[in-house]
């Protein structure tokens, strides 16, 4: 498990996960920003630089992700963008009122709209490794089933239209999951997420320290799945190094 974050380094508070506005990142001190807290913890644990990506604007963001720079730099065609890389992420959509934390792999567009050519799926994206690993009774399917039994969920498909969202009881298996990912509309932004959901009540009853440590623990749980799809796997720092 990840080592606890020292209290002096984490000033994060539960109310920064605002279920009406999003994840607060603006107008905060350095040790209060979840972007900096998580980035510092990941870089310490894995001994390599991480990049931070976000979706949102102003004080409150909807989605934040962290990806290892080494995996992006290894891509011969796409080393200048992050779309093709597996990522750890957190998100909070006020409309859905659920905080999500986990890992994701984006497909982007196969037929991008005008002005979005940089988001077209490329041969070196981690998406292809994800699809290749989705085999019946394969190691990835086993890992997914184990995590689903622990309360994780899977999002699969387009963010612009219908997509699958599965738990342990309705997970269709690797073959159908792969088919659903392959059949996502080519002109839509699509992807895969393995995430742990938290309700507003669960967040409000936790301390900021608890929430940060929970996020890092979720990332650690999803790491085997991340490593199956990345060109450059992550390995944690051995205690005493």
> Residue 125 has what pLDDT?
98
Q: H or E element: which one contains 164?
A: strand 163-166
Task: Please identify every stretch of the chain with a pLDDT value under 70, giving residue numbers as ranges.
Answer: 1-9, 237-241
> Residue 99 has what pLDDT?
98
Strand-pairing partners, residue 154, are: 166, 194
> Residue 3 has what pLDDT?
54
Domain ranges of the chain: 8-229
Please state whether the predicted TM-score (pTM) of the whole model is above 0.85: yes
| Backbone angles phi and psi of 159, in degrees to 5 | -85, -5
> Residue 7 has what pLDDT?
47
- Find all residues with CB under 8 Å of 19, minimum gap 6, and list them: 92, 94, 97, 99, 200, 203
CATH fold of 8-229? BirA Bifunctional Protein; domain 2 (3.30.930)
By the 10 Å C-beta count (0-12 exposed, 13-18 middle, 19+ buried), 97 is classed as: exposed
């Amino acid at each position: 498990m990840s080592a606890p974050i020292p209290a002096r380094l984490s000033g994060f508070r539960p109310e920064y996960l605002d279920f009406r506005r999003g994840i607060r990142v603006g107008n905060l001190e350095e040790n209060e920003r979840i972007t900096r807290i998580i980035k510092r913890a990941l870089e310490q644990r894995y001994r390599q630089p991480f990049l931070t990506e976000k979706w949102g604007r102003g004080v409150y963001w909807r989605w934040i992700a962290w990806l290892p720079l080494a995996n992006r730099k290894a891509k011969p065609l796409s080393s200048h963008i992050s779309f093709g890389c597996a990522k750890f992420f957190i998100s909070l959509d006020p409309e859905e009122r659920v905080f999500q934390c986990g890992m994701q792999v984006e497909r982007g567009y196969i037929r991008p709209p005008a002005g979005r050519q940089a988001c077209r799926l490329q041969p070196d994206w981690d998406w292809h490794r994800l699809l290749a690993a989705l085999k019946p009774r394969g190691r990835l399917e086993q890992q997914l089933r184990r995590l689903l039994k622990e309360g994780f969920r899977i999002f699969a498909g387009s963010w612009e239209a219908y997509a699958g969202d599965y738990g342990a009881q309705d997970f269709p298996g690797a073959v159908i999951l792969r088919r659903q990912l392959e059949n996502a509309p080519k002109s839509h932004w699509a992807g895969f997420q393995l995430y742990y959901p938290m309700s507003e009540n669960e967040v409000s009853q936790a301390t900021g320290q608890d929430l940060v440590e929970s996020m890092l623990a979720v990332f650690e749980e999803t790491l085997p799945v991340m490593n199956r799809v990345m060109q450059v796997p992550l390995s944690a720092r051995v205690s005493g190094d």
